[in-house]
């Protein structure tokens, strides 16, 4: 109503003195920048804290809260405004990929975690990165030479998801040729810690049960060529047939579970003693298929009934 009849703003209307930003008259860019430089603030966060009144000094009304907007035509960067020299990542000019990689490889970093520690300033002995080396090289050099962190750091390591593995059949043939006898030996081999066995090539996965899960995987016995089958993959005899075998052993009926456990322990060193289709833990396999107890499994209850 009073737009053309004396209206100056809500600060004038309410008597608070507040003036809308667009109606204020600010110092020139050079004068405002000179004021900002004298504050010796470290970064943009410090500037915003200053503008909120969190610091000792109070911002003059003729120095804008958002200088990057008010002085758009003269603005360069926050590093220039505060005098720190810092340049926003998006405004930096970085070295060509090959030159940056050469510099980084000389640092002797061994992993991406060490790279991040360097970037975060947690490795003062290695110094700090120059402004023209990006903190996120995988983004800056995407499509410009970047392949992986092993190449960037010079370690030669390749992340599993970036590797190209051979087919399941080729990998299994190579692994079986190593003559490994157990999963423990396989684990040691993947770490290069098995004496007399060379480390695995990069195109063979260290977790084959994951990589080949839907592409031929049938257990470590098949993978290593030992013939051992994981209990979860075995096919056991029907309960009554398996129990008939167990009873034929005529084990000590006084302590059925202990007697069965000792028999299974002997079977580990005497191949063929316990058929592959007879479970060492029948109480778990036949829970819902007729299992009662180890006394019933070994026939103690049946023999007791016959004796009476």
Q: Note the pTM of the prediction, 2 decimals.
A: 0.35
Q: How confident is the model at residue 307 (pLDDT cuts 50, 70, 90)?
A: very low
pLDDT tens digits, one per residue of 57-84: 889 989 999 999 999 888 888 888 888 7
> How many other C-beta atoms are found inside a 10 Å radius of the C-beta of residue 47?
21
Residue 306 is predicted with a pLDDT of 46
Instruction: Give the separation between CA 294 and CA 256, rounded to whole angstroms.
Output: 5
pLDDT tens digits, one per residue of 165-219: 889 999 999 888 888 888 888 888 887 777 877 667 778 888 888 888 888 888 8
pLDDT tens digits, one per residue of 1-60: 666 666 656 666 776 655 555 567 899 999 999 998 888 888 888 888 889 888 888 899
pLDDT tops 70 at residue 163: no
**Nearest CA-CA partner of 292 in 251, 240, 253:** 240
**Nearest CA-CA partner of 218 in 168, 275, 160, 150:** 168
Percent of the chain with pLDDT over 90: 19
């Amino acid at each position: 109503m009073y737009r053309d009849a004396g209206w100056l703003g809500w600060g004038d209307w309410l008597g608070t003195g507040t003036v809308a930003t667009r109606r204020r008259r600010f110092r020139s860019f050079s004068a405002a920048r000179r004021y900002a430089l004298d504050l010796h603030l470290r970064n943009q966060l410090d500037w915003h804290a200053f503008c909120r009144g969190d610091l000792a000094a109070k911002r003059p009304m003729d120095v804008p809260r958002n200088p990057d907007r008010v002085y758009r035509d003269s603005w360069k960067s926050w590093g220039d405004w505060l005098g720190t020299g810092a340049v926003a990542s998006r405004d930096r000019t970085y070295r060509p990929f090959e030159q940056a990689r050469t510099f980084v490889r000389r640092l002797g970093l061994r992993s991406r975690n060490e790279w991040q520690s360097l970037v975060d300033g947690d490795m003062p002995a290695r110094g700090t990165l120059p402004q023209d080396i990006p903190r996120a090289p995988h983004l800056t050099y995407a499509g410009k030479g970047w392949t992986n962190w092993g190449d960037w750091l010079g370690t030669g390591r390749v992340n599993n998801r970036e590797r190209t593995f051979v087919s399941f059949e080729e990998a299994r043939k190579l692994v079986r040729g190593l003559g490994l006898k157990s999963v423990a030996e396989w684990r040691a081999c993947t770490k290069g810690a098995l004496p007399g066995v060379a480390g695995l090539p990069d195109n063979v996965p260290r977790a084959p049960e994951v990589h080949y899960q839907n592409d031929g995987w049938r257990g470590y016995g098949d993978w290593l060529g030992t013939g051992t089958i994981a209990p979860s993959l075995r096919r056991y005899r029907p309960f009554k047939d398996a129990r008939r075998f167990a009873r034929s052993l005529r084990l000590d009926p006084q302590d059925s579970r202990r007697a069965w456990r000792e028999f299974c322990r002997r079977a580990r060193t005497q191949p063929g003693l316990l058929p592959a289709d007879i479970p060492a833990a029948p109480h778990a396999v036949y829970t819902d298929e007729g299992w009662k107890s180890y006394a019933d499994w070994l026939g103690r209850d049946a023999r007791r009934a016959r004796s009476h």
